């Protein structure tokens, strides 16, 4: 469904639920991680892009202190007072709304009651960050309706706090940041320590971003995530004995790593090597994209997959199969797992004139090898949160 058709649909849903037309409709996109695999919590560098799947939020202010939020995806309406924003154990989708409002209020924003209708087409659980899209849609809707001043990075931090501290899911800042600050036909380079960022050209007319869902839900349980994080912290601690000013793995150059890597236990060495060289790939990506060298960029994505599979060990049979099938398909320039790993999606760069053949080949090839028909999404790089209808 085209964006304007979806906007019309969410307006109609708002009118049906609340009996009036919304004052405004905003959108906030999902995202794909192009490079920067598990570098965020190592205070490193990431390169995501906002994509053409998003969450729409239609809203109007109320004359009381009540928030009424309708989810078209769950066909459910919840209401709660701004004076007492508490976690909902039943309608858990609403906790993303509640968390954003809670931390906006805590930051000093004078909130007003609001009616809102939310509708998204970012697949849940696929690693494309439907949660950040909801958070930024709600935050940007409130900012648009009330008119309070807040920078894009600050609103992204509100969304991250909502997810980490209210919903209770541990994430870095990348997802919310690119959902709020992405730019059409650009990737976003982000320094996860300083929050410095740069828009990097990624023209998606001739080359499409194709996301292939293995249909295996991500199995990165808390213990696996926590273990990888602890291993990285241990690597940084050990390397700091020989390299000055190492606080996190982002502070270790590949040259210094090569000097001291043999002093590390094998597993710790492998984890560190992935993160350190992945940071180098992200930094290199800025150079090659700024001169339009998409072949070199594609090689960096391929290298990322091998590293995530062999060194960080976050791939799985389904992801490796999807990568193999994708790399052999017409128009494919590269393929890698994207996101946390252990399931979810791969991302490929595909030449536009062969996208249809790529999709047909991958769908058939993956189904033949696994017995599962994948979902495949052809995406472009899009703007971050924006007003789509006043």
User: Residues near 90 by Cβ (< 8 Å), separated by ≥ 6?
Assistant: none
- Using an 8 Å Cβ cutoff, are 91 and 126 in contact? no
Alpha-carbon radius of gyration of the chain: 21
Q: CA 388, CA 21: separation in Å to the nearest integer?
A: 15
Torsion of the alpha carbons at 203, 204, 206 and 209, rounded to the nearest 10? 130
- Which of 175, 213, 226, 262 is catalytic? The answer is 175
Interaxial angle between packed helices 174-181 and 130-146, expressed in degrees from 0 to 180 and rounded to the nearest 10 = 50
User: Annotated catalytic, 383?
Assistant: no
User: Residues near 104 by Cβ (< 8 Å), separated by ≥ 6?
Assistant: 111, 139, 142, 158
E-state strands within the chain: 24-35, 45-61, 66-71, 76-81, 114-120, 186-191, 197-201, 207-213, 336-338, 345-351, 375-379, 386-389
Annotated active-site positions, please? 175
């Amino acid at each position: 469904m085209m964006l304007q058709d979806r906007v019309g649909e969410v307006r109609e849903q708002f009118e049906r639920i609340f009996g009036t037309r919304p004052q405004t409709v905003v959108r906030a996109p999902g995202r794909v991680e192009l490079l920067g695999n598990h570098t965020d919590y190592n205070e490193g560098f990431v390169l995501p892009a906002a994509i053409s799947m998003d969450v729409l939020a239609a809203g109007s202010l109320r004359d009381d202190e009540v928030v009424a939020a309708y989810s078209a995806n769950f066909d459910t309406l919840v209401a709660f007072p701004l004076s007492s924003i508490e976690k909902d154990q039943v309608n858990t989708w609403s906790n993303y709304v509640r968390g954003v409002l809670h931390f906006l209020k805590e930051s000093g924003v004078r909130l007003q009651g609001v009616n809102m209708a939310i509708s998204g087409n970012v697949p849940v659980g696929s690693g494309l960050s439907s949660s950040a899209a909801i958070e930024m849609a709600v935050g940007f809707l409130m900012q648009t309706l009330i008119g309070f001043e807040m920078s894009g990075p600050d609103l992204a931090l509100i969304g991250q706090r909502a997810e980490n501290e209210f919903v209770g899911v541990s994430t870095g800042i990348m997802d919310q940041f690119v959902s709020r600050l992405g730019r059409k036909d650009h990737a976003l380079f982000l320094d996860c320590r300083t929050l410095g960022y740069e828009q990097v050209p990624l023209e998606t007319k001739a080359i499409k971003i194709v996301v292939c869902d293995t249909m295996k839900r991500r199995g990165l349980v808390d213990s696996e995530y926590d273990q990888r994080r602890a291993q990285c912290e241990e690597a940084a601690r050990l390397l700091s004995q020989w390299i000055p000013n190492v606080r996190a793995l982002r502070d270790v150059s590949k040259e210094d790593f090569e000097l001291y890597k043999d002093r590390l236990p094998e597993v710790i060495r492998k984890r560190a090597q992935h993160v350190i060289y992945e940071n180098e790939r992200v930094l290199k990506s800025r150079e090659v994209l700024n001169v339009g060298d998409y072949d070199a960029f594609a090689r960096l994505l391929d290298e990322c997959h091998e590293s995530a599979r062999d060194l960080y060990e976050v791939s799985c049979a389904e992801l490796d199969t999807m990568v193999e099938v994708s790399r052999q398909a017409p128009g494919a320039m590269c393929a890698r797992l994207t996101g946390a790993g252990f399931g979810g999606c791969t991302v490929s760069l595909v030449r536009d004139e062969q996208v249809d053949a790529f999709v047909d080949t991958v769908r058939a090839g993956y189904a033949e090898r696994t017995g599962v028909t994948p979902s495949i999404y052809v995406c472009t790089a899009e703007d971050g949160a924006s007003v789509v209808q006043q």
